């Protein structure tokens, strides 16, 4: 692996994180971007990076591995922006600022959709007219792939090997689950866009597709419907806030909306987790990551209790005090349950070094780590 210092740029739906990693992945510095000029953040870093890695949520069908960014790649990434309107424009904006601040430093795009390139056709196919599927590329893409890929790799390190059947729960402002068989994604809850699946902070998750059509037919504009589904639904639509900590506080005060929202959140989480285990034919490991997955013991306890029929059980004390990577499995459980700290920056850096040291910039292939 080349001795490169990598600046990773990770725009999320509600955050922007920049991390400078040394050649051995030592974290030299980390900074949150909102409210700060990226150029100013870079000037405060202890060293100039040798390469840049930028997280992009959507790579479509063209980009299933990391790829060095040039004008043609940038143009195609702009074309994909409407499929991930909370993320793709933010990544493109960050890329523009980074390239202005660091001209001449090579930049590599890493994609959340890439980990799901291994989805079998049965899991990826929507039952829509063939002409639509072929013309518009309508299929399940899946997201949070950088987080899933790192969680799988880290779980293998913690347990001494990859569990044959894993369900990884990335729970944060955006949330999705992934069924992982022998290290490869075989099913996931997000689909063509990041709107499908779980109830999220501001996104509705799966709803009857007839609802948006009905709303548009009754006078709402497509733009208003899309904005509401992306930014004003989910926990925010149910309670007025997408902050799980605030909702927990309200629930403790017996707020009716907060209690109902938690019930709906957990109902969907339980159902989707069970669906992922069905795709795997069982469960050997359950892994929590992401802001809520790492920091909310109540979410972890409730889901493992809901899945107890599969053999999940966690130690209450280890669950309550989990800080960083933690094996919470109770002595009588047949399924291992872990918390893994999300480190998408490490996964991005791995992809950047691979592309820049091997010279493979095709953007093809399947099952990339980045």
Is residue 15 within 8 Å of 35, Cβ to Cβ? Answer: no
* Beta-bridge partners for 184: 181
Is residue 154 within 8 Å of 168, Cβ to Cβ? Answer: no
Q: How far is the C-alpha of 289 from the C-alpha of 336, rounded, in Å?
A: 14
- Residue 157, SS3? helix
How many other C-beta atoms are found inside a 10 Å radius of the C-beta of residue 61? 10
Residue 360 a catalytic site member: no
Is residue 4 within 8 Å of 108, Cβ to Cβ? Answer: no
40, 112, 255, 263: which is the annotated catalytic residue? 112
Residue with structure tokens 């159902």? 271
Q: Calculate the alpha carbon distances from 53 to 7, 22, 104, 341 in Å.
A: 6, 13, 14, 20
Q: Calculate the alpha carbon distances from 65 to 9, 40, 51, 55 in Å.
A: 17, 31, 17, 12
Is residue 242 within 8 Å of 202, Cβ to Cβ? Answer: yes
Catalytic positions, please?
A: 112
């Amino acid at each position: 692996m080349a001795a490169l210092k990598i600046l990773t740029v990770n725009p999320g739906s509600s955050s922007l994180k920049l991390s400078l990693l040394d050649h051995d992945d030592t974290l030299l510095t980390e900074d949150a971007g909102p409210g700060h000029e990226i150029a100013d953040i870079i000037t405060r870093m202890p060293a100039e990076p040798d390469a840049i890695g930028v997280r992009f949520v959507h790579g479509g069908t063209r980009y299933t591995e990391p790829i060095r960014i040039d004008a043609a790649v940038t143009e195609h990434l702009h074309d994909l922006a409407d499929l991930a309107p909370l993320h793709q424009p933010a990544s493109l904006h960050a890329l523009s600022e980074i390239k202005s601040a660091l001209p001449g430093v090579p930049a590599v795009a890493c994609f959340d959709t890439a980990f799901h390139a291994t989805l079998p056709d049965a899991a990826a196919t929507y039952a829509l007219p063939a002409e639509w599927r072929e013309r518009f590329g309508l299929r399940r893409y899946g997201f949070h792939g950088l987080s899933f890929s790192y969680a799988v790799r880290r779980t293998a390190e913690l347990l001494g090997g990859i569990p044959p059947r894993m369900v990884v729960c990335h729970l944060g402002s955006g949330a999705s689950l992934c069924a992982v068989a022998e290290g490869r994604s075989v099913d996931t809850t997000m689909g063509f866009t990041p709107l499908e699946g779980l109830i999220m902070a501001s996104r509705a998750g799966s709803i009857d597709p007839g609802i948006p059509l009905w709303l548009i037919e009754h006078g709402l504009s497509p733009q208003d419907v899309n904005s509401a589904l992306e930014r004003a639904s989910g926990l925010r639509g149910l309670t007025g806030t997408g902050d799980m900590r605030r909702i927990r506080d309200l629930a403790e005060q017996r707020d009716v909306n907060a209690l109902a929202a938690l019930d709906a959140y957990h109902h969907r989480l339980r159902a989707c987790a069970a669906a992922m285990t069905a795709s795997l034919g069982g469960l050997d490991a359950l892994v929590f990551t992401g802001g809520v997955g790492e920091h909310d013991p109540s979410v972890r306890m409730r889901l493992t209790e809901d899945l107890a029929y599969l053999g999940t059980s966690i130690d209450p004390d280890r669950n309550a005090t989990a800080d960083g990577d933690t094996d919470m499995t109770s002595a009588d459980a047949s399924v291992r349950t872990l918390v893994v700290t999300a480190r998408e920056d490490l996964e991005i850096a791995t992809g950047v070094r691979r592309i820049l040291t091997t010279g493979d910039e095709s953007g093809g292939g399947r099952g990339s780590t980045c």
